[in-house]
Structure 1
Amino acid sequence: MVHLSGGTFSMGSNRFYPEEAPARPIRVDGFWIDRAPVTNREYLRFVQATGHVTLAEIAPDPADYPMMPAEMAQAGSLLFQRPAGAVDLRDFRQWWSFCAGTDWRHPWGPGSGIEDLADHPVVHVAYQDAEAYAAWCGKALPSEAEWEFAARGGLDDADYAWGDSLAPEGRMLANYWQGEFPCVNDLLDGWERTSPVGSFPPNGYGLEDMIGNVWEWTSDWWSIPRPARKRFKGACCVPSNPRGGKRSDSIERGGDAPRIARKVIKGGSHLCAANYCRRYRPAARHPQAIDSSTCHIGFRCVIRESR
């Protein structure tokens, strides 16, 4: 783990997606954070010690999902499958599909394995699976503010974890999608899927894979940021150690989808691309249902100093 002494930084961005705005001053106390995302090797050690069974390895109960198609009532997870040609980017079903038999031990579908992926981030872990690992090793999942403070590596208000250019002088500094997502991947970074942790340079705090490779769970419920309150003749009251919103407010309203609470995930993944999802940045954020797992979401842990 790496120790960060904490401090005040500019959280969010006014330059990309609306859910990141407004950029606002935030203060976090000191904490320790994993140098890299939890790997398959580390997660295997946890499972062997505890017997933990991940959500993707358990068939969902139809009673909990009344509108679920019958073919979905089996153990599995969401898997990216590259389409043969151009598709409508408004319809994620063109590249995401539920695949029975897919889980952290079989990350690319039945028949795949992790024998050669020991140093890759563990994937297909739902929020409760990440939380269980953190509790087992005496740690916790980071808040969104802690995660973003760490990801910035000391570069306050920069667009990327390494500066304001995505690929300075053509260098690939993270595992993300190069080319026309979701059908053409130019593989300029050398990886079509996940990469071993530490394959790219660490940020200014010595942290690896804070950007790209896999999205990472945080402990915060999804909410829309609000500007810091003003008081005392215009002086700004800087929030300290903010902790997201409420569980009830994180649930997406409307439509026929199940009303499942959502957590914030951060950092983007190997599937983020310039033409579709420019979320390979510290300020980027996305809501993720806590009962879901995919091939591009993992996590890392923190230990907070006594407060």
Structure 2
Amino acid sequence: MPVLKTSDFDYHLPEELIASRPLDDRTASRMMVIHRDSGTIEHCRFTDFPGLLDRHDLVVLNDTKVTPARFFSNDGKIELVCTQKLGPLEWECLVRPGKKMKPGRTVEIGDATGTVEAVLENGNRIIRWNHAVDEETHGRLALPHYMNRESDVDDRDRYQTTFAREEGAIAAPTAGLHFTPEILSGINHTFLTLHVGVGTFRPVKAEYIKDHDMHSERYSVSQETADRINMARAHGGRVISTGTTCTRVLESLAESQITNSKLQIHAATGATDIFINPPFDFKVVDCLLTNFHLPQSTLIML
């Protein structure tokens, strides 16, 4: 296979076709189904999804919960995105503009004052607060830039899956946004956790995709989930991954847990920087449920 360029994953995306608001009904989204064995394409609604599943199929979902990680200083001049909490009062942050925020400089959010302790190689800042920031009052959701709007009160509910429970994501695992409790009650499913980081918004700048430095994200898979995946596979069922986040975790487990050509999934906690792109050999995931993705992004490369 020839060496792939980032430009190989480019296409024309009219801005007017990008939805900036969700549908009132989560399940009303249009869904395109591609049958790879026959090459046929169906146009459906997400309400049709359960009917596409077989008896032993297992749907894997990401139960990470989006936290309000975007903040503005009291004077509105500094924007912070908390990419990781290193301790109760110590954050790693993406800062805009960053030039003025050198070690020793301070920023105020509400009645909390943060001091820049260090500048990391990736440009992020380590900020220590004199006391806890009121995140519920001052924090905003970090919406994808292509939505071209600020977050509002409604996003606290709609930019969140109905099954979100493990706090730690900066962005939502958007493929899971279409599921309702009613849909879930009618399908065989299980959960894992991958906290979506700010790296998901970063563009690919390398000319060749092999030169892209993939971001790392934290994940956790319980033994119960591992057992259900193994059981589905043993009974001939398909593992249906909900989104690129679940896919990264499942295929990372496959890379680390194959012994003597046999794959048995076990519980695991860690971080993955796996970069899935053609001609990747999937070892766990049989089907992928995903949203459309931006041109030249790592998401569409998967």
TM-score, normalised via structure 2 length:
0.24
* Higher percent of residues as strand: 2
TM-score, normalised via structure 1 length:
0.24
Q: Higher relative contact order by CA 8 Å / sep ≥ 6: 1 or 2? A: 1
